[in-house]
Structure 1
């Protein structure tokens, strides 16, 4: 009777929670995304570097809603060159894409959006043109200059520029000011850039700075933050939430989702629990329940390093079901692309720049960016009260003998079907045989304990456990057991049909981008320096007030441009540029 009452209360609470969630969803404001990127005309072997800003369209400030943003590059046929998931911290994040030689010459579209924005149509996505030149592949005729027709006065086509020019009046009334210590610099010379503001509130914003050589050939114009704010965000529609929301906002973290169906009828499987474990030293574990359409969603609110994870249906008849993971899908129909033509007079320029890129990439190892390690926050189920290092005890051949002879308060019992399961005795009261412990081996969750029973105990280094009840999602466990193997590679070697291994669409890792410096180090002076990008700082910190940024020029002469974009803490856009020459 008590168990029935508890079940009834749980169902009522779930219903109330679902109703509250539906009401909350309708009040979530619409979002808009702005992308700043380093270059709109790229060669094979160069990096497209970008920063994404996600803004609340009602407050016109950086959003506190979505915790993930998405950046994608597509070609004219709608094929995806890349799609990146970016963790948003206070509404912004950044990433980059190395243009490989497999990407042909052509016109591309750069898109920026959040999962929540997909409910309102692609028209509100950030969209900008990218042109790529690949001298290592045969170029399509559409991008080559055509022979002069004596009967046709039009010999070539020029680049069709978008009608909106996002760079007009950039420095007029700007909230930040740029001042270079010299207008003309020499090669490999130190340059100091001073960034000052009009008032103290301006410094508490979110900014990015890019310093890059200006190309001598035409390229698609880039949209400034000020133009985006006035023409796209401020004048854009702020539609109400549509009925039948398909894509939930990633309010608490990254959403990993899919559908469970029955194998025999292909119908949605409702009210099934499914787990996701990310193995390793910093393992994570989630449990979700499928809805009436068979859909399930895991919310990952912690950073991780895993590239793959393990799914398991938490049901005794799990062989009856099939799991299909969701993928990133957007409507790519009707997207307009700009056109361009490569003329013969560009041959020498393309050759020279390609050689410079090859040399620069050959020395990439000495100028590599550094990956910022994930910030691992331990969840409650990784905290153990007791641990046994098996090297301190007599080694037994079987796992069963080891549990009986060495490990106190943990046991193994046999079910009616003959399978063996682990059990952890509670601190208070008697063992509830209806509850099993949460069992991990090198961070991999083991739903069916029998699959691990024949594992050699001589390969196990430690056994740790906690005896309290734990609840993950809607699943209750009596205690937690962690087996750590000697080599730590259990997940890579273990196989059972009960586990579905899936590739994860992982957020891009944060980076500290390489900053070239010259000193008395003779080795540095012998390395060629053909950097087109002198500086890329996507997380420019101006909180201390006026700031001096120091950078070094490269071996490439020409005109360079400093571009600073971003938004103040009050949501006011900032767009400012400055130019200088390297001789």
Structure 2
């Protein structure tokens, strides 16, 4: 715990915690809302989450939350990472055809929540039904057991509407402000008996190591070691580069124990990132800390008990999902792409677009003919880049900081290994540049057309790893029958008529259109007001 005191003190400076004990006692909770608890293959699970303090107000601590779905053996079906916006966020998961019918578990948590002696993360059961795969009779049974349907039978249905009718719903209008999620979905006619779960949640760590809160963004940590006992471990530069973003470079230095921490205020751009030691000494190696997750002991003998006549409803749901997916290109949701985080100021770079200037056969020729600020030397086959530095009275006799397709290049000779015909862009800055604790004469950045360059030198000093990209925001498709006549001949088999998250006020009406599916529908608005009041409003109508 002692080695984290410095970081804890930094956290205290940024938040309203007067002392360390107040921070350590800070409790977060997560509420996760799903559009259904029973879903059929081919449908989409939608969810939104709220990260609150003990008073149900937005948490002041964590900026990152995690949502995962586990199968009956505790294996992850999906794992989503979310950078929170005002302590809330939303996501979705398309139920693929390879998932078997079974009981699944949805969990949601922040890393800080895993420090509690008894885990306080959110969990919810989810029944996935796959009518296309043969059910394992040892774990899933369809029978005639009587199941309590009183909830469906006793719904107070206030209105009925025709198919493809535009509805403006005002019943939930109020002056309440906060964070809310609204859903309009066909009531679930596939009820099932959920038995008591015998699993025992545990802490992810059983020692006294503090799991740091991700207060300013995701934390990636690790440690370096040396094969030579005399080599120092402290104040060694560590770099993080993003394969999909050539202008991103994050640096930190190690503490006295050789430990390092990267804090990512914004998400990275690609799945492929590299962390490496910034030193010419080859005797350092690097190890990342394992990702901390909840550990589950799952009862995989829990049986699914559905009434036999539900097979008709399951068949209808599966057909509806097939029809909707067949028109995916017309009805697909929109993904909001995340703007790439740049740690290198574009205005400081001089960019040479090789597609718009005369092509040369080699990098050497290009430097000689085009880039006046750069030259190279060669002595006994040793290729070196040099900058003619501006704004200073002398030339810095150091290598430039060189990046190729997100790879840090420590040996300029590796530049000659690039097939120059694939190079699409070269960017330079001939001003001195610091990286970690090392001074460079400038920046030399190379992009290839297919982003394919992979530096295989000094592999012991670097780690290439897969980065779990945070979930991208989506805008869900819902048809507008008011003005779009082209939809008249397109079938509409939606059971989810409306879904909206991050609603800050309930002063506006809810507007949506019904589909071609008859039945009873539920309108629900769930969330928290600014003063911590839990809101759960429901209303019902019929489409016929």
Which band: TM-score by shorter chain?
A: 0.7 to 0.9
Cα distance change of structure 1 residues 64 and 459 upon mapping to structure 2, 3 Å threshold = same
Preserved contact between residue 117 and residue 125 of structure 1 (Cα < 8 Å): yes
Is 1:513 aligned with 2:476? yes
Is 1:20 aligned with 2:6? no
Task: Provide the rounded CA distance (Å) in 1 between the counterparts of 2:543 and 2:59.
Answer: 39
Helix, strand or coil for the counterpart of 1:580? Answer: strand
Deviations 1:376-399 (A, max 9, x none): 454344432534455787654432
How far residue 322 of structure 1 moved from its aligned partner, in angstroms, is: 4.9
Deviations 1:520-552 (A, max 9, x none): 65541222211111111112243xx62122111
In the other structure, the counterpart of 1:184 is 160
Preserved contact between residue 187 and residue 520 of structure 2 (Cα < 8 Å): yes
Greater shift in the superposed pair: 312-321 or 91-100: 312-321
Question: Quick one: which of 323, 341, 345 aligns to 2:309?
Answer: 345
Question: Quick one: which of 308, 333, 336 aligns to 2:272?
Answer: 308
Preserved contact between residue 122 and residue 331 of structure 1 (Cα < 8 Å): no
**Structure 1: which 5+ runs fail to align?**
1-13, 148-154, 172-179, 222-241
Task: Provide the rounded CA distance (Å) in 2 between the counterparts of 1:249 and 1:101.
Answer: 37
In the other structure, the counterpart of 2:182 is 209
Greater shift in the superposed pair: 88-97 or 186-195: 186-195
Question: Quick one: which of 432, 444, 453 aligns to 1:481?
Answer: 444
Cα distance change of structure 1 residues 521 and 568 upon mapping to structure 2, 3 Å threshold = closer
Preserved contact between residue 283 and residue 444 of structure 1 (Cα < 8 Å): no
Helix, strand or coil for the counterpart of 2:441? Answer: strand
Preserved contact between residue 386 and residue 465 of structure 1 (Cα < 8 Å): yes
Greater shift in the superposed pair: 343-352 or 502-511: 343-352
Is 1:372 aligned with 2:372? no
Is 1:556 aligned with 2:514? no
Task: Provide the rounded CA distance (Å) in 2 between the counterparts of 1:516 and 1:104.
Answer: 31
Cα distance change of structure 1 residues 18 and 87 upon mapping to structure 2, 3 Å threshold = closer
Greater shift in the superposed pair: 317-326 or 355-364: 317-326
**RMSD of aligned residue pairs (Cα, Å):** 3.9
Preserved contact between residue 258 and residue 323 of structure 1 (Cα < 8 Å): yes
Preserved contact between residue 40 and residue 219 of structure 1 (Cα < 8 Å): no
Is 1:38 aligned with 2:31? no
Question: Quick one: which of 505, 527, 532 aligns to 1:566?
Answer: 527
**Structure 2: which 5+ runs fail to align?**
14-19, 195-205
Cα distance change of structure 1 residues 524 and 282 upon mapping to structure 2, 3 Å threshold = farther
TM-score, normalising length: structure 1:
0.77
How far residue 315 of structure 1 moved from its aligned partner, in angstroms, is: 2.5
Task: Provide the rounded CA distance (Å) in 2 between the counterparts of 1:522 and 1:394.
Answer: 51
In the other structure, the counterpart of 2:63 is 67
Task: Provide the rounded CA distance (Å) in 2 between the counterparts of 1:476 and 1:339.
Answer: 64
Deviations 1:220-277 (A, max 9, x none): 79xxxxxxxxxxxxxxxxxxxx994432111111223445456899xx9765433221
TM-score, normalising length: structure 2:
0.83
Question: Quick one: which of 284, 287, 290 aligns to 2:248?
Answer: 284
Higher helix share: 1
Preserved contact between residue 277 and residue 309 of structure 1 (Cα < 8 Å): yes
Is 1:447 aligned with 2:443? no
How far residue 52 of structure 1 moved from its aligned partner, in angstroms, is: 1.1
Task: Provide the rounded CA distance (Å) in 2 between the counterparts of 1:293 and 1:516.
Answer: 58
Preserved contact between residue 259 and residue 326 of structure 1 (Cα < 8 Å): no
Preserved contact between residue 51 and residue 88 of structure 2 (Cα < 8 Å): yes
In the other structure, the counterpart of 1:239 is none
How far residue 515 of structure 1 moved from its aligned partner, in angstroms, is: 1.3
In the other structure, the counterpart of 2:291 is 327
Query: How many residue pairs were aligned?
Result: 517
Helix, strand or coil for the counterpart of 2:491? Answer: coil
1:51-66 alignment to 2 at 5 Å? 51-57=48-54, 60-66=56-62
How far residue 26 of structure 1 moved from its aligned partner, in angstroms, is: 4.9
1:156-555 alignment to 2 at 5 Å? 156=145, 183-194=159-170, 197-199=173-175, 202-203=176-177, 205-219=178-192, 244-260=208-224, 272-280=236-244, 283-291=247-255, 295-318=259-282, 321-324=285-288, 326-333=290-297, 339-389=303-353, 396-413=360-377, 418=382, 420-423=384-387, 425-433=389-397, 435-455=398-418, 457=420, 459-485=422-448, 488-489=449-450, 491-498=451-458, 500-519=463-482, 521-542=484-505, 546-555=507-516
How far residue 184 of structure 1 moved from its aligned partner, in angstroms, is: 0.4
